[in-house]
Amino acid sequence: MIEHQKNWQAMNLAAIQKRLAGLQEQPDGVVFCKDSGVHYVVVRKDKGQIKLSLVEKVNLHTDLLQSVLDLNNPLHLVSEYTQAMMLALVWHSQPQRIYIAGFGGGRIPLVLHHYLPETVIDCADIDPIAIEAATQCFGVHFDSRLTAAIQDGRDYLEQQNRDIHYDIIMTDVFFGNGYFPHRLATKEFYQLCEKRLSSDGVVLVNLLQRDEFYAEKIKTLQSVFSQVCVCPWKDINSVLIGSNSAILEKDEIVARAKYLQDGHDFSFSLIDRALEVKVCTELFEAVPNLDKAQVLYDEAPPVGYFNFWLL
């Protein structure tokens, strides 16, 4: 079984590299640019890396980097927040089914698809141009185990058959200026996630630390899940982790990360990301004003939440 998996992974990596071969020959610069609603989807080649950005039409210098791929090592997750999203496997190392809201360049789905050959990965993204960019520039290929619906991430989850349960749910959804949709940050949304999770499932959320409602979003996750951890990356991103399964202490999180690192031989250090996780009292020390934060609800967005349109 292990030998069969290794053979499959070798063939899969070769297929990814073949899909990326044309980009290897192109000079640095823009390799993909298409109009998509309020922004442009732009892909650049830069010194052996492929980078996808959303560039706002109303403010062209607002350019949020969405995905990065190393052409020489396409299974390496360059962005540390994407490495932190792989901590989902600490809570559920052999998921049968994963749901990801937000696709971007498809870095996390592609890597999960490679290392978990028995896992079904359902994705949703409202932007068909981003998915087009992922297939043309990031080595993504859809099959029976990896699919992407052109749909709002919450709507997709709500409309799934009630018999379908996910072991891992991830949300990684931003507009070009860093706006995180309100309807993916509320108690009602996380209650929906809880209903769609398996009994020992886990939800992960990528947030920007500069988000004015950063503490509120963590507080909201805490209102639904008994254990909430945060894995911060510098002063840029944080990955929130929520679960209602057995509470994991820090040493157990690190130990499980080491086991996964040894088993999958990731090119990045999952152990380093595990060491950065904040649990229990560490969480309150890492997130200012968390104790004073208010829970977010569908019908009562806080004043100023939608001011991103003014940026």
How many other β-carbons are positioned within 10 Å of the β-carbon of residue 63? 17
In what side-by-side order are the strands of the sheet with 120-125?
146-150, 120-125, 97-101, 166-171, 197-208, 237-243, 227-233
The answer, yes or no, to whether residue 287 has pLDDT greater than 70, is yes
121-179 per-position pLDDT tens digit = 999 999 999 999 999 999 999 999 999 999 999 999 999 999 999 999 999 987 655 57
The structure's pTM equals 0.95
Q: pLDDT digit string (tens) for 236-259? A: 899 999 999 999 999 999 999 999
| pLDDT at res. 178 | 58
pLDDT over 50 (residue 311): no
Sheet hosting strand 39-46, strand order edge to edge: 29-36, 39-46, 49-56, 63-70
For residues 269-285, give the mean pLDDT: 94
Distances (CA, A) of 247 to 154, 203, 283: 27, 14, 15
- How confident is the model over 41-92, as pLDDT tens digits? 999 999 999 999 988 887 766 567 889 999 999 999 999 999 999 999 999 9
Domains of the chain: 74-297 (3.40.50.150)
Secondary structure (3-state) at 299: coil
What pLDDT, in 10s, does the model give residues 186-236?
A: 999 999 999 999 999 999 999 999 888 999 999 999 999 999 999 998 888
Helix, strand, or coil (residue 247)? coil
The pLDDT value given to residue 20: 98
- What is the model's pLDDT at position 131? 96
Chain mean pLDDT for the chain: 93
What separation in angstroms does the CA of 34 have from each of 57, 128, 133, 237, 254?
A: 12, 11, 9, 26, 42
pLDDT at 310 > cutoff 50: no
Percentage of the chain exceeding pLDDT 90? 80
Is residue 124 within 8 A of residue 104, CB to CB? The reply is no
Render pLDDT for 91-113 as a digit per residue (tens, 0 to 9): 999 999 999 999 999 999 999 99
Give residue 308's pLDDT.
Answer: 53
The pLDDT score that the predictor gives to residue 63 is: 61
